[in-house]
Amino acid sequence: MEKRRIAILGSTGSIGRQALDVISQHRDLFEVELLTAKNSSDLLISQAIEFDANSVVICNEDKYKEVSDALQPHYIKVFAGMQSVCDLVAGDNIDIVLTSMVGFSGLSSTVAAVKAGKTIALANKETLVAAGAIVMELAARHGARILPVDSEHSAIFQCLMGSAGADIEKIHLTASGGPFRTWSREDIAKATRAQALNHPNWSMGSKITIDSATMMNKGLEIIEARWLFGTPGEKIQVVIHPESIIHSMVEYADGSVIAQMGHPDMREAIQFAFSFPQRLPLDNRKLNFAELGSMSFFAPDQERFPALKLAYEALAKGGNMACIMNAANEEAVAAFLQERIGFYDITDVVQDCMAGADFAASPDLDAIFRTNEDTLVMAAEKIARLSGRKSFQQ
């Protein structure tokens, strides 16, 4: 394998740090070209020095001087702002772009990398949720390969290898069920920030961990799978699998089901996207089936977890509806993390925005950005009203 030169967008987040751990195990095969971070200047500086990055971008322009002063002696180029990320990902010195920034903010740089025909290691699922039709069309036009890093989608992608183009009968998307899997609706309604952040299996950033607790993460993943694999919503079925050993499954016309398994460890999916189609060693925990003994599966409960229903609705409606859903969710999750609203207020805000925002059947990229902005405003107004209630005060 020829050495692959990698850009990590969002290198100080959970996925970014695990990606650097993968790279540190294969320094002969992977090289860090570009690292970007929103705010975490200290970590960005130490990562850039350790991995001898060619350039870095600190998106918060107020921190430019601090990062620049620290990296100048190391001859590492320093830039600031989102536009710099969009410019640098297109550079000839980059083969693979890992998109591991949080939320909709990743869309413009992902589009820039796709237009430059880069291989995308896609960890930013919100990009496909908000603008799946547009991003996939651009990828086809510019010959950009999109390799999933989300563990479920990496699993599906691996289950499809060797299928010789056979049609997918069904995707079985596994979900851990999150921290509230066995809680009653009444208890979930009172769930605190700390309880929602306590995910049983996966170690992830705070936004995705709250999304896992509401199961909106699985809703986003249904839509992500639709765009990555061209599978309609009615063929994507969620199954609760609390052990998180099976990362997802593909069922074919003959009833044969292929599963991909492993202990929950994001580095597996990250490394496979970097090394594809090769497989490399990794210092992770290996499966011992006799020790594991059994695995369990349950149907999801859409009454306690209404996010799933909302995602299927958004997918069926098409146009900018999933973008509306995603924007409302981002604003509501941020408000929940600030302890301004209650747990079920998150999905209530999403539902209200989906009912109230302007629908567009075939939006272009500009319309998607406008939808995102408008929905954030609408959600913020709803949140302000909710957080003013007497009934929610912690």
Residue closer to Mg ion (CB basis): 41 or 151: 151
Residue closer to Mg ion (CB basis): 150 or 331: 150
Gap between the Cα atoms of 346 and 331, Å rounded? 9
Least distance to Mg ion, CB of residue 221, Å: 6
Least distance to Mg ion, CB of residue 37, Å: 22
Residue closer to Mg ion (CB basis): 264 or 363: 264
Residue closer to Mg ion (CB basis): 195 or 201: 201
Gap between the Cα atoms of 77 and 216, Å rounded? 38
Neighbours of 33 (CB within 10 A): 23
Residue closer to Mg ion (CB basis): 4 or 247: 247
Least distance to Mg ion, CB of residue 153, Å: 7
Least distance to Mg ion, CB of residue 217, Å: 6
Least distance to Mg ion, CB of residue 255, Å: 26
What's the N-to-C CA distance of the chain in angstroms? 55
DSSP 201-249: S----HHHHHHHHHTHHHHHHHHHHHHHH---GGGEEEEE-TT--EEEE
DSSP alpha helix (H) spans, the chain: 14-25, 41-50, 64-71, 82-89, 107-115, 125-142, 151-160, 185-189, 193-196, 206-214, 216-229, 266-275, 289-292, 307-317, 321-337, 343-356, 365-387
- 277 upstream amide cis, omega within 30 of 0: yes
Residue closer to Mg ion (CB basis): 55 or 209: 209
Cβ-closest residue to Mg ion?
150
- Does residue 77 sit in helix, strand or coil? strand
Under the rule (CB under 5 A), what is the footprint of Mg ion?
150-152
Least distance to Mg ion, CB of residue 203, Å: 12
